[in-house]
Structures are given as structure tokens and as C-alpha cells.
Amino acid sequence: MRRRVATFLLLAGVGFAVVDLWRRAPRDVQVQFRWGESRHGLRTAEIRYLREGAEVRRVTFRYPGGAPYQQPHATRLSRGDHVVHLRLDTTSGPRELRLPFRVAGEDEITLRVPW
């Protein structure tokens, strides 16, 4: 009986560890940045993805003639809460924004940028 209980506890512990590693593992996601109607004045967008305060990804988009309405970005992020820090260079001056979002089971995340 003790051997069965010990085996069960060992398998349960291994199972929990595997599930935890699976949740933390980065996965492919498509992040869509919706610049909106003010996109014509956007020249550069520096995007930093933060998880628990630490930078996990960074990308910069340059738009010499103004940005498209929506900018896709394929990246790898782990499940859970993130913050995207945006540094925007616009014709009316620089702006910085922080947008929180969550990566769950979806493959595409849309972030509307309020500027």
C-alpha cells in the first residue's frame, strides 16, 4: 500500500512540474497593434514586451510615410500577464504608453493603441 501511495505522489509531482513548465514555455503568438486614425503621424514605434518587470522581447518599426492602420508582429511569449511599453515618435512629438495584456490560449492578440 505504501509503495502505491509513494508512486502516486511521485507521478502527481512530476505531472504538476510538467504542467507548470508547459505554462511557462514561450509560444508563438501574433500581436496586432492597432494604431488607429492617428497613424499618419507615426514615424517610429519602439516596442518592449515586459514580463514581471523584465524585458523579454523588443522590436522597432519605422514608418517614413506614416504607419498602416494595423501592424502585425509575430513573436514568442509565455502564458500569463505582460506589459507592452511603447515609445512612439510622432510628428507632434514623442509619446510613451504602457498597455497590459494577457497571453492565454489564443494565437492572436490585438492591442488598440490609444494615442
Helix ranges (H only) for the chain are 2-24
C-alpha cell at 111: 492591442
Q: What is the pLDDT of residues 6-31, one digit of tens each?
A: 786 777 776 766 666 566 678 999 99
pTM above 0.85, yes or no: no
Q: How far is CA 45 from CA 10, 15, 28, 91, 112, in A?
A: 49, 42, 21, 12, 14
Q: How far is CA 65 from CA 40, 69, 73, 111, 113, in A?
A: 7, 13, 19, 22, 19
pLDDT at 22: 62
pLDDT at 37: 86
Q: What is the pLDDT of residues 83-107, one digit of tens each?
A: 999 999 999 999 999 999 999 888 8
In the chain, where the domains are located? 26-112
pLDDT at 17: 64
CATH for the stretch 26-112: 2.60.40.1220
